[in-house]
Every structure is written in C-alpha cells, then in structure tokens.
Structure 1
C-alpha cells in the first residue's frame, strides 16, 4: 500500500452520505472535491444510504448542488434494498402496503410491485420506512396486515436519525409499534444487514468495493457483514473513544480524518515488539492501559493507538476508562490532537 494511494486498490466506493459527504444540507469540507478526483481516477461512486424517505433522484440533485458527481443511478437506498428483498419473495404485481414515504413507493414500483395503503387490499407484504407524516392510521393498517400473515420488512433499523435539532426517533424506533402490536419482528434491509450493500454491489458490478462511513454500528458493521474493506472518516458520528473501545464487528480496515485520505498512501500501523508505530507515533498496551507517545499527524497517532488497543482487547473491547487518560490529554473541542 505504501507505493500507491488508498483508492488505487478499489474499483468502487460505497459511500454513506450524512457525516461523510454532507452534514445536513451542507457539504463536508473537501468531500465533493475528493469525490470528483476519485471519479476522475476511474473509481465508480455509489451513494449508499439507510434513508428510505427520499428518492434517488432527489438525493442525486442534492449531491450535485453540493458539487459531488452524482446521478440518480449512483444512489442506492434502503428502500431499493427492501423492494428487491420483497420482490424476490413474491410475484410480480403483488400488493405491498407502504408504511412510509415516496422513496419506498418508487422503489417498489421499479420492481414491478403495487404499493397500497390499507390492509383491505390484502397486501402480501408490509414495508416500513421513516416519513415525517407517518400516522397512527397507517401504522394500524400495517399491524392489521402483518397479523394476517403479510411479510414484514423494515427499510432500516436505525433507532435514531441525526437532524439539525438533535437526534430524532428513527425507523427502528417506529417499527417497534408494529412489532410490539403483532409479535412479529421485521426483516431489516438497511445497514448493517447485508441486503443494502448487496444491492449496491449488484447495481455497480463491483468486484473490489470499499465501504466509506462515519458510523461503526451501521457502516463498519455492514462492511464486516458483507465481507469487504471499510474506511471510517472522522467527519461524522464516530470519534476516537468510539474507535478505541470498538469490538471486532465495529473495527474499520482504515481510519482517516476525511475523504482526502483516499488520494494519499495509507500509513498502516506496524508492530515492533510490544509497540505499534505509525508515522512518528508509538502506542502500547501496558499495565491495563494505553500509552501513546510521539507527534505529527494526530490521525496517525489514533491509528497506532487503535492497533495496540484492539490487539490487547482481542475478541472483546477495551474499557473506556483504560483509554480516557490518553484521550483527555489529546482531545480538544472534540477532535483528536
């Protein structure tokens, strides 16, 4: 990896959106430029999102306005993954009750299915995704259909969703209404479950994808479930403490400050005796705690620290108190410095 940039080893980037490409309505600094450069080098870009409320065309317009290269066919949503999951189990033209928004309806129609709104239409499946106008009446119709034997599919299982006002209830929280009322758990299509990344691979024809995300419990675990490499960028949800205390399912292949790292050689940590080193930093686990020395790019220090902590933790995870001492001396305004 030393003689080539990180992106040179992959043919497709499977990119999460919020926290990776944009934050709210605005772009993450440098992200559009990094993606245009990646496309110029021949990489395929696929924007993979658990958001099932917006259509791919609407998401692509937003990305284009930010300067990121995107067309509707480059966007892969949990609604599309859910629609394929249903289509593979029922016949063409089958009625499917939509407990959600236009993104789900569009995806179902694209797979030859017929969206409906009431249990009286005898749906063979119920598909639920988040929507701002989700009503008690529609949830009740979904519960009635599931009680009568309809397949229950959730676009995603996110318990919360980030907004400018803070974290609001996500689709995972809303699916508990039907699940509690019926005793039936939904099949989940979105990250970290395999269907969404499978959908992205099928659509792009990728043989060497790299999942890029900002969340350990969806993006990184999803990459692990799909058996592909992952890059965690520090522009969104996950921070240094989350990484250092991550269990095996949540440990990314690569760690970077932002998407610009795609265009540089990746400085992988190297083991030397009991110490892990990375570009001027050295880290070791001794006496039940993390020791970190050196200087330079702070993300290199985090890479070395993660290597040391993850090796010591093995199949478990480090206790937060055992690493907070190092972080307390190197955290400033929420950033690793």
Structure 2
C-alpha cells in the first residue's frame, strides 16, 4: 500500500502538495472521522452520494464516526437521524462538541456544579453525563456558563442570561465558535455568531474557553471515544475540520459539498490545506492521484498542468478529452500552495477556475 500524506510532503518555504494514495482511502485508513453538516447532510437531507458511499466504506471494514461541532442534538438523536437517512448508526459513533465542552468544564469545576446553559438539549445531556447540573438563569449562581448552537428558535433572553453571568466573572465556555452553519436554504449564523452577541454585551473584555474543532479538547474527545489508530478526518470547513486534523497530526479529506469552495481552497494557509480533495464522499472509495511538482513551478495531476505566470494562476489541459475536473483542482492547489509557501495565495485565479466550471 502506498500513501503519501500531504503532511509529509513539505518543501522549502512551507510548500505543500496534496497527498496521493495508490489504494482507496477507505482501505488506507481504519476510521473516518466525518463532519455532518455539509458533508453527510444539509438542512437534514442527505447530500447526494453520501449514503451510498458511506455504506460501501462501512461494508469494506472502515469504522465510521461522526464528529460534529453542532451541539444542538444529543448523540441518540443524531444516530437516529442518520439511521433514518439510510446510514445505520449508534449513539456511540457520534461525538459532539457538547461532549467535549462538558468534559472540559467537568475538569475545571467541582462535581455537581450548576452550569448555565445557552443552547439545546445536546448540551444538557452532555453536562448531566459529567455529573453537572444544567440551569436556565444566572440567578442560580452557576459555576460556569456554556454556549452551544441552539437553533434558530433560541430566545433572545438566553443571551441576556449569559451576559449577566459573564459580566459577574462566571467562567465562560463555548462548544465551538463556527460563525456559520449550512442548511437547506443556505448558510446561516452559527454558534460563533451567538458567542459574539455575548462578547459585545459584556464589553469584549472576556474570551470563552472553546472546546470544538479545531481545538485540542475536541480531538481529545474523539480519540477517547473512537480509539482510532489510522484516522482520516473528513470535512467541508478549512477552519474547523481541516485545521483540527492539522492540529491533531492526522490526515484529512476535504469534500466540496458544504461551506468551502475551490477559490477558498486555493488561498488556504498551511494549517488549512487538506491532505486530499474530493467533490463528495465518493472520494472515500477511490485512491488519490499523485500530484507532482516539475520544473519551472509547473504542477501536474492527471491530465492537467498548473503554474503561476504573470501574476495569475494558469491551468492547461494535457489531454484533449477525459481530463478529470478534480485532478485540475488538485493541480491548482499544488501550484497555489507552492507559490504561497507559508502564506496565503493572493494572485488571480479567475481564468483557471473558469476552465473547470467554477
């Protein structure tokens, strides 16, 4: 088996190419740590090809675990939802930022402490699992305040309760700080936006302790609960899924079914550059082609050549027909990331992307 990790393929100046695998990724890795929103489903409905791809990966022996920054629902509810979509799942296969932040709080406050909850049932269940007592008002003298995504119906008064407690010096925690969350109608405000409401109301002088991706508490929770030995993080966000994999020292697959588009991918700084890139979860079931840096800064993948010339990113087809569009994306990533080194690529990529239909 040959797997060349993108984390290992670094050159001078922080240059990096996407990784390659001679075997399907579901054979190269024992566990897929899958994000949910934007990867498996959007707005509650399965993303095209997701159910079928996950079924094949599972049948081939890959363990599937679902790692989500969304703290709204309990693992039981998430598992039921996935099973209803056609992805058989048990609660033990679901790891949420609510679980990660509950462990973080339990490590820092006395057992049985009251915790003011600004969020949904997922947070309350996770806190009770750690022997903590969820409360609804700052008047209960909580030992901590925790915020997690509570859905679009979360009452405005809940933010006021958090602000009252934080302003009095109560330790403040957040399940995650994702500013946005994908849904059936588009991209909406996430828990990070709610955290900003409390930050502004309290004068911006206090920062919450955050547990979710890409930070270490979430990686710790995932490792403890899955026991993965060769994990592959699968996600749609550069600043949570991919950076979390980078921080944990494990490989990652970015799928282009959620928040991140190709233009954002090309400008990624080193900690946001995935090992592999695929259009959707079918990328789990195939190998990844080699991305090769040649003379003069030309990067080749499949039937495509990419380079930087005259202040812009250039993409050329090496074949008349049959050149895979995703190979073109991988070649562009190699050229852009190599040119950017340790920074973010900032040159014009418009013409190159238009050749691929983006």
- Regarding TM over 0.5, the answer is yes
- For residues 70 and 122 of structure 1, the distance between their equivalents in structure 2, rounded to whole angstroms, comes to 38
Partner of 1:141: 161
- 1:282/1:301 contact within 8 Å kept: yes
Partner of 1:258: 280
- 1:98/1:117 contact within 8 Å kept: yes
Q: 2:86 aligns with which of 67, 70, 87?
A: 67
Higher relative contact order (CA 8 A, sep 6+): 2
- 1:32/1:69 contact within 8 Å kept: no
- For residues 180 and 150 of structure 1, the distance between their equivalents in structure 2, rounded to whole angstroms, comes to 16
- For residues 152 and 72 of structure 1, the distance between their equivalents in structure 2, rounded to whole angstroms, comes to 28
Partner of 1:327: 353
- For residues 314 and 22 of structure 2, the distance between their equivalents in structure 1, rounded to whole angstroms, comes to 30
Partner of 2:325: 298
Partner of 1:89: 108
Change (3 A) 1:23 1:177: closer
Q: Deviations over 1:32-62 (max 9, x none)?
A: 1221222222222111111111111111111
Comparing 322-331 with 81-90, greater Cα deviation is found at: 322-331
- For residues 300 and 186 of structure 1, the distance between their equivalents in structure 2, rounded to whole angstroms, comes to 41
Deviation at 1:307, TM superposition (A): 0.5
- For residues 267 and 316 of structure 1, the distance between their equivalents in structure 2, rounded to whole angstroms, comes to 25
- For residues 330 and 71 of structure 1, the distance between their equivalents in structure 2, rounded to whole angstroms, comes to 39
Q: Deviations over 1:203-226 (max 9, x none)?
A: 001122111011112211221122
- For residues 290 and 108 of structure 2, the distance between their equivalents in structure 1, rounded to whole angstroms, comes to 43
Q: Which runs of 5+ in 1 are unaligned?
A: none
Q: 1:237 aligns with which of 256, 259, 273?
A: 259
- For residues 108 and 233 of structure 2, the distance between their equivalents in structure 1, rounded to whole angstroms, comes to 27
| 2:48 matches 1:13 | no
| 2:237 matches 1:215 | yes
Deviation at 1:326, TM superposition (A): 1.2
Comparing 34-43 with 45-54, greater Cα deviation is found at: 34-43
SS at match of 1:172: helix
> 1:1-337 counterparts in 2 under 5 A?
1=2, 2-131=21-150, 132-182=152-202, 183-274=205-296, 275-294=298-317, 295=319, 296-320=323-347, 322-331=348-357, 334=358
State the TM-score, normalized to the length of structure 2.
0.88
- For residues 328 and 190 of structure 2, the distance between their equivalents in structure 1, rounded to whole angstroms, comes to 34
Deviation at 1:199, TM superposition (A): 1.1
- For residues 172 and 313 of structure 1, the distance between their equivalents in structure 2, rounded to whole angstroms, comes to 29
Aligned length in residues: 331
- For residues 250 and 149 of structure 2, the distance between their equivalents in structure 1, rounded to whole angstroms, comes to 28
Comparing 39-48 with 298-307, greater Cα deviation is found at: 39-48
Deviation at 1:134, TM superposition (A): 2.5
Q: Deviations over 1:88-146 (max 9, x none)?
A: 11222111111111110001001111111122222111011122333343322222222
Q: Deviations over 1:15-47 (max 9, x none)?
A: 011221112222122211221222222222111
Q: Deviations over 1:227-274 (max 9, x none)?
A: 211100112221211111222121111011121222222112012223
- For residues 331 and 132 of structure 2, the distance between their equivalents in structure 1, rounded to whole angstroms, comes to 50
- 2:214/2:245 contact within 8 Å kept: yes
SS at match of 2:316: strand
- 2:73/2:121 contact within 8 Å kept: yes
Instruction: Quote the RMSD (CA, aligned, Å).
Output: 1.7
- 2:176/2:213 contact within 8 Å kept: yes
SS at match of 1:161: strand
